[in-house]
Structure 1
Amino acid sequence: MILPDGLTLRPATLADAELIQAQRDAMFTDMGSDVARVRASSAPSLEWLRGALANDTYSGILIERGEQVVAGAGVSWQMLPPSPRTVTPLRAYIQNVYVAPEQRGQGLARYLMQVLLAECRARGVEQVSLHASDAGKPTYIKLGFVSTNEMRLTLEPS
């Protein structure tokens, strides 16, 4: 796939941290997250994002129309022990996939995912995971993602 005319792709830099965080906040709000919780998590998330961009444990990509960023996505690089599902310790967790409402329906999320998956392959990653919104799930399924048996426990702060 190629980008529609007038759009360009570029890597995210540390200077883009606030913009990526704004997209992340919008993504969670669009998915119906409690607005107060989105606000409460925004500053600590931005701090984490700055650190991860600085130490290369997070890679982001952005699509621009002129000087305006209209879509973005990223991947957190994780080192975990090898297992029967993957003998390599490097794993990828895709996150922050966001397309501005006025740019949706053009395949931009799919394009971003294809770019990130190519980078995963280039780094030798065998296992890629993500959490999907209802809106994003059809795109991820078409790319080959499947539901897993992962479980979650949310602990209350002490």
Structure 2
Amino acid sequence: MHYRQATMEDIEQLCELRKKQLIDEGGVANRLIDDELRQFFTSKMQDHDLIQILLEDEGRIVACGALVFYEFPPSFSSGSSIKGYVTNMYTEPNYRKRGIATTLLEKLVEVAKARQVNQLWLGASELGKPVYKKFGFQESDVWMDYIIE
């Protein structure tokens, strides 16, 4: 097994992994999102706003995790206006409970440091929450959502 950064050639597999992740988290596949996913991955990877780390076993991607970089206005509390959103964390069921998600997070932190990003955030599923807490992520009541209809 080896870790590597995703390339444009991986986009179709990234789309499939993202759909598996969403279903694992309780999502219902009630519409086709393939074109939207392809467009997202293509755009973000071309702009270097997304770094996706993959774990391969015998040529097959079995786990992944990503950072999407967002620029915010500077603030007094943060040394960098770029923050990293951890997303697309997924491990195939047969590979879980082996520390893979933790290793993916470590690699994403390395990427963040190289980009001089000093703050990461994420939306944790119930499955992932214990992993993130153990890694050192803190729960926060800072974020609020608004759905535009």
* TM-score, normalising length: structure 2: 0.94
Structure-to-structure mapping, 1:11-50, within 5 angstroms: 11-36=5-30, 39-50=31-42
CA–CA distance in structure 1, aligned partners of residues 145 and 61 of structure 2: 33
Q: Does the residue aligned with 1:119 lie in a helix, a strand or coil?
A: helix
Residue 58 of structure 1: how far off its partner (Å): 0.6
> Is residue 98 of structure 2 the alignment partner of residue 106 of structure 1?
yes
State the shift of 1:14 in Å. Answer: 0.7
Deviations 1:118-141 (A, max 9, x none): 211222112111111101001111
User: Using a 3 Å threshold, how does the CA distance of structure 1 residues 88 and 23 change in structure 2: closer, same or farther?
Assistant: same
Q: Structure 2: which 5+ residue stretches go unaligned?
A: none
Q: Return structure 1 stretches of 4+ with deviation > 6 angstroms.
A: none
Aligned length, in residue pairs: 148
Partner of 1:150: 143
Is 2:84 the counterpart of 1:97?
A: no
Amino acid across the alignment from 1:65 = D
Q: CA deviation at 1:43?
A: 2.2
Corresponding residue number in structure 1 for 2:60:
68
Segment of structure 1 superposing worse, 116-125 or 66-75:
116-125
- Within 1, Cα distance between the matches of 2:50 and 2:103? 19
**SS at 2:130's partner residue?**
helix
Report % sequence identity.
Answer: 28
Residue 82 of structure 1: how far off its partner (Å): 1.4
Q: Secondary structure at the match of 2:62?
A: strand
Where does the alignment leave 5 or more consecutive residues of structure 1 unmatched? 1-6
Question: Alignment RMSD, CA only?
Answer: 1.2
